[in-house]
Amino acid sequence: MRIPNNYWRALFQSLPLLSRHRVLSRNFATNKRTYQSLGSTLTKSRRKPLTPEQQGYLSAAIRVNETGELGAVLIYAAQTPIMVEQHPGLRQLMQHMYNKEAGHLSTFNNLTTKHRTRPTIMYPLWQVLATGLGWTTEMMGKEAAMACTEAVEMEIGANYNKQVQEVIKMIQGWEQGGYEVGPEILELLQTMRRIRDEELEHPDHTVDCDAKKMPLHDLLTGFVRASCRGAIWVSKWV
């Protein structure tokens, strides 16, 4: 089976992170001002610097989001060949969802570079597993592929929602203390909200495409969601 160009584009889109991983890791370890642009490079009296805990949380959030978007891109890229061959009417939908995820991945690739966040060292493994999950569920049929997408998008969307709530708590704490909120924090919050909402649109598409009709739907989606939670947890730390 010939793999379409968008799979290789998705794969190579993520490869530059591997080549710069050591540089970013060294910068992260030696430069204690990582994320100062998000809170501590601020006016002396009106903006409060990020605490180490807040810096660590935001660093992990960006790392996890980049990982999740990589997985989504590669799953779509792996599912698409057989999907559109057997169901030509789904070509436009698959392209739409792929383009959304590719845009999300680009956003977090840029944030990783901008804030010198250390990428997860599990990047190569996640590439293999995401591609394998996409191929496997597509070989199981359209309903299984859509159920996989439903589960992945629901878990990613839920994770974004937790992050949004945590950032809002940070902002509320600063405002209650009489501090101004830096523009980059507000921009990050807006980005997380936008991408969360876009992620949570995709499960509706999958339901329209018979995801719920898959035999053992709950078993498959439960497995995929648990796997996503595991990947999120690991990527937070390594």
Residue ranges for the binding site?
69, 101, 104, 153, 199, 202
CA–centroid distance for 15 within its chain: 16
The annotated binding site for Fe cation is made up of 69, 101, 104, 153, 199, 202
Closest-CA residue to 203 (of 156, 164, 138): 156
Residues 6+ apart with CB under 8 A from 165: none
Helix (H) or strand (E) holding 1: none
Q: Are 214 and 220 in contact (CB under 8 A)?
A: yes
SS3 of 180, please? strand
Q: Are 163 and 145 in contact (CB under 8 A)?
A: no
